Chain A
Amino acid sequence: DTAVSQTPKYLVTQMGNDKSIKCEQNLGHDTMYWYKQDSKKFLKIMFSYNNKELIINETVPNRFSPKSPDKAHLNLHINSLELGDSAVYFCASRPAGSYEQYFGPGTRLTVT
């Protein structure tokens, strides 16, 4: 299937731990994103990468570190997890020249 995939789908962890979320797209898109949907259901951009280069960093705490090993993958590593990090994280990709973004199924992170 051609799509944007994320692993894991659910992640429950304790405060202070470090965790990673992986994203892969096989659509051949150059640009990938991480969005966060908080408890109030707002979807807000966190990062954007274009061909493995960081383009957008929306004042996200530096505990969050995205990594793009190649243009098909954009992973999100979170250090020292806090309760407020609990949210659903969505990965997305976009083809060059288009406004439309394609979203993954989301990863629900719960920090206890």
Chain B
Amino acid sequence: DQQVKQNSPSLSVQEGRISILNCDYTNSMFDYFLWYKKYPAEGPTFLISISSIKDKNEDGRFTVFLNKSAKHLSLHIVPSQPGDSAVYFCAASRGIIQGAQKLVFGQGTRLTINP
């Protein structure tokens, strides 16, 4: 039972344009959402996050939007740069109880930025 889904395994975008990565979740108890970026042979690195009490969070070129009623979030990257080419993972979490917090990941979307 996959509680977090990224339905697009890959996305190709031209440099300078906007990249939009999507993520859907099924568990309404999730209260925090994160995006991670992963390069080959490296571990995932944190990119941006959003609490369920917000609908938007922006950090430089990266913006995450949350639509709780649709159980959907998206990551916007604008303008897209070649260094953004990586696999992007959406992750969801529920509560922070001493050590019991865990991340539930989507299967990732491979983003390729073309020059």
Question: A residues bordering B, Cβ < 8 Å?
Answer: 4, 30-31, 33, 40-45, 48-51, 53, 55-56, 58, 90, 92, 94, 97-106
Contact = CB atoms under 8 A, between A and B. Distances in A.
A48 B105 contact: no
A100 B102 contact: no
Contacts of A43: 44, 89, 103, 105, 108
A4 B43 CA distance: 10
Interface residues of B, number: 25
Contacts of B102: 33, 45, 48, 56, 58
Interface string B6-39: 0000000000000000000000000010101000
A52 to B, nearest CB: 10
Contacts of B32: 99
Given A99-B49, A102-B46, A45 B99 contact: no
Interface centre among B2, B43, B89, B108 (most CB of A within 10 A): B43
Nearest to A32: B99
A90 B99 contact: no
Main secondary structure of the interface of A (DSSP, over half): strand
A28 B104 CA distance: 24
B110 to A, nearest CB: 9
B43 A55 contact: no
Contact of B93 (A53, A92, A99): A99
B107 A99 contact: no
A106 B41 contact: yes
A30 B99 contact: yes
A98 B98 CA distance: 11
